[in-house]
Amino acid sequence: MTPFDSSMFFYILFLSLIPAIFLGLLEKKLKYYGTILSLFMIVLFIGINKFQLISFFSFYIWQVILIEGYLKLRKKINNIWVMRLFVFLSILPLCLVKFSHFYTTSTLGFIGISYVTFRTVQIVIETHDGLIKKINLLDLTYFIIFFPSISSGPIDRSRRFEEDINRIIKKQEYLNYMGTGIFKIFKGVAYKFILSSIIYNYWLCKIPSSFSAINILQYMYAYSLYLFFDFAGYSCIAIGTGYFWGVKLPENFNLPFLSKSMKEFWNRWHMSLSFWFRDFIYTRFVMNSMRHKWFKNRYTSSYLGFMVTMVTMGIWHGTYLYYIIYGFYEGILLVATDYYQRKSKFYKAHKKEKWFMALSIFITFNLACFGLLLFSGRLLIYFK
């Protein structure tokens, strides 16, 4: 069963909300019920596939051993290479899944392995930073398997999550949570099941597959809008569902197609992902390169940081060529944007004028849509 994608899932979700609402209104902690339900939901998502069930439980045990082991080791050894080793071991199962098409035809992994890996890697890194000094096994388990966001995010942070699940929510506040949750779920349903379905069925599916400029442009815009409403819709439903369990998952989209630059776009599109890569790859790469004086110019560090971050993001989506090209494209756009905004006198003179902002939104929208066209893999079909 796919999360948030069928009437049966929503029926089960509705039934599961009843005890949550009852406990919430009684001002009881929801994490015990939430942990049991999340485990049940994951088994439901995976279904009768025994191999994926074994993969999931093996992954969970592996990650818990790594996290608990590194927490104890960190108290004795504060070495960045030890941390990097544990990060590598944490992402190793994901790497085996991502590269599995090179060496097997079997389906490896389980639903949500990419997003769960983000959660465990974050814990390892922040343990090294000294931000995490102790771990409660139940809280860790709940964080890893929290079902509303397991398949496609949003990507939460463990310390924020633990604060939510361990605080007592007063009745009136929980009623406010319910109101917010209902609004976001209905908004997500409208996005995912109405707007994205209309775009898909009445536009995207009707575009001829023959190579022509008009067909490519149509597909670029249709796919971009479809992807936004489908993914933003899913995110809204996941966030809304989280509110019923007292968890305020981070927002994932903020009108990204109204961005005035590609840097702004990545602060509005799939925000939990872009902020994760910013905090744990880009910032650390730049700070490390400046600390060790790898480059004479600090902008060189920043620009290489953009490229490393976006190419890594592309590979994270998949190891196919179009994902890697997409990562390079987005990295080049971020470098070009930063350079233009720093160097252009024309930009500095007109950036606050309405006509310039409107033109910037139009250009950014088209650049972003072309990036999503690359992401779709459609262009490579024509060149095979």
pLDDT digits (tens, 9 = 90+) for 289-329: 988 888 888 899 999 999 999 999 999 988 889 999 999 99
Q: How confident is the model at residue 384 (pLDDT cuts 50, 70, 90)?
A: low
Q: How confident is the model at residue 47 (pLDDT cuts 50, 70, 90)?
A: confident
Residue 46 and residue 162 in one domain = yes
Instruction: Give the number of residues written for the chain.
Output: 384
Specify if 48 maps to a domain. yes
> What pLDDT does 151 receive?
87
Distance, first Cα to last Cα, the chain: 34
Contacts of range 160-163, beta carbons closer than 8 Å, 24 or more positions apart: 160/250, 161/247, 162/136
66/216 Cα distance (integer angstroms): 47
> What pLDDT does 107 receive?
55
- Alpha-carbon 50 to chain mean position: 27
- Note if 317 is an active site residue: yes
Q: Report CA-CA distances (Å) from 202 to 166, 375, 380, 383.
A: 46, 22, 24, 27
- For 162-199, the pLDDT digits (tens) are 999 999 999 999 999 999 999 999 999 999 999 999 99
DSSP assigned state of 255: -
> What pLDDT does 108 receive?
63
Specify if 46 maps to a domain. yes
Structure tokens at 233: 């819709």
Residue 35 and residue 159 in one domain = yes
Q: Report CA-CA distances (Å) from 195 to 189, 199, 230, 232.
A: 9, 6, 8, 11
Specify if 193 maps to a domain. no
- For 209-219, the pLDDT digits (tens) are 888 889 999 99
Structure tokens at 148: 């509303």
Specify if 20 maps to a domain. no
Residue 34 and residue 157 in one domain = yes
Specify if 262 maps to a domain. yes
Choosing from 150, 166, 182, the residue where a domain stops is 166
- The active-site residue, picked from 101, 270, 292, 317, is 317
Range with lowest mean pLDDT among 67-71, 365-369, 380-384: 380-384
Specify if 364 maps to a domain. yes
Choosing from 137, 166, 195, the residue where a domain stops is 166
Residue 150 and residue 270 in one domain = no
Q: How confident is the model at residue 102 (pLDDT cuts 50, 70, 90)?
A: low
> What pLDDT does 318 receive?
85
User: How many domains does the chain contain in total?
Assistant: 2
Helices 80-98, 50-74: crossing angle, 10 deg rounding: 170
155/279 Cα distance (integer angstroms): 13
> Which of 79, 165, 68 has its CA nearest to residue 124?
68
Residue 160 and residue 285 in one domain = no
* Cis amide bond preceding 154, omega within 30: yes
What is the average pLDDT value for the chain, to the nearest integer?
92
- Coil, strand or helix: which one is 23? helix
Q: Mean of the pLDDT values across residues 15-38? A: 95
Specify if 97 maps to a domain. yes
Q: Report CA-CA distances (Å) from 230 to 4, 113, 130.
A: 11, 20, 38
> What pLDDT does 111 receive?
82
- Give residue 287's domain range: 256-382
Choosing from 133, 166, 199, the residue where a domain stops is 166
* Residues whose CB falls within 8 Å of the CB of residue 118, separated by 6 or more in sequence, listed in order: 155, 276
58/204 Cα distance (integer angstroms): 40
Asked if residue 48 has pLDDT above 80, the reply is: no
> What pLDDT does 39 receive?
93
> Which of 91, 166, 165 has its CA nearest to residue 125?
91
Q: Mean of the pLDDT values across residues 349-376? A: 96
Specify if 17 maps to a domain. no
